Amino acid sequence: MTAPSRVSRDGSARPIAMRLDSIAEWHSEARTDRSAVDWSPLPTTLSTTMRRWFPLIAALIAAVQAAAATSKPMIDSPSKTVATEERITFGGGCFWCLEAVFQRLVGVTKVVSGYAGGKVANPTYESVCTGDTGHAEVVQLTFDPTKVSYEKLLKVFWAAHDPTSVLEEDAFKHGKLYPKGTAYQGADVGSQYRSIILFETPAQKAAAETSKAEAQKEFKKPIATEIVPLQKFYAAEDYHQNYYNQNKSRNSYCGYVITPKLEKLLKKGLIAEEPFLK
């Protein structure tokens, strides 16, 4: 097949393939000795233009080649994604209370009320309230450790409830007999209100155990908080989410129980007055 031709400005026709080969050859010669380049195959106008711009083009080519020689292939320096957020799950009485507390901490980016620590899949609020599912009411926190440390969260956790609260003898409450050792927080009685930390990493477990030992110095009775691995977390029903912020003026429980708790923590400088999460 005859190579396609293109008519140059001087009227001569040259095969395109031949012209490309010639340019490649001129470039090769120019890399070693630009004075040795034979410019005659080019049309006069093009030759003059290339003579004028060739030094600049050659310099740019050299710069690009030098940069390529000193740079490392991308495969040798893979990008590293650093996890900036962590999760921890706490239980300490009614989840409405803990949710309101941790919504008022800088660095906590998400708080979800739910159920964990039990043996029944997809529990409902009603089933958890029976105490038969084994689940505790909990809040799952997502937090940025560069803004709030896990140790700070633990400190707030110990201050936000009484981790020593278990019945010291059998007790009849709310029309039901609860055996000795049953967890409670205030008037809320049952295993679903027990104090519990559900960790996701060995480091979280170790830190929780260290913090628990330190917190014990603040309590006369032994801390009953469970420290166990998180197996499964179930988010509670929508109407339980962001409960205090939306219902503090409508539900007397909020005014009698949650508001005083928040005021106490605020005086200790552990939380902010207004929620960062709404």
* Per annotation, catalytic residue among 94, 97, 129, 254: 94
Q: What amino acid is encoded at 29 in this protein? A: E
H or E element at residue 226: strand 226-229
Is 94 an annotated catalytic residue? yes
φ and ψ at residue 199, rounded to 5 degrees: -90, 160
Q: What does 194-208 look like in DSSP terms, one character per residue?
A: --EEEESSHHHHHHH
Given a contact cutoff of 8 angstroms between Cβ atoms, the answer to whether 178 and 231 are in contact is no
Residue 143 CA to residue 107 CA, distance in Å, equals 6
- H or E stretch covering 111: strand 108-116
Dist. CA 53–CA 65, nearest whole Å: 19
Contact between 204 and 228 (Cβ < 8 Å): no
Residue 29 tokens, joined: 């010669």
Take residue 255 and report the two structure tokens written for it: 């005014």
Task: Give strand pairing partners of 150.
Answer: none
The count of other CB atoms within 10 Å of the CB of residue 17 is 11
Annotated active-site positions, please? 94
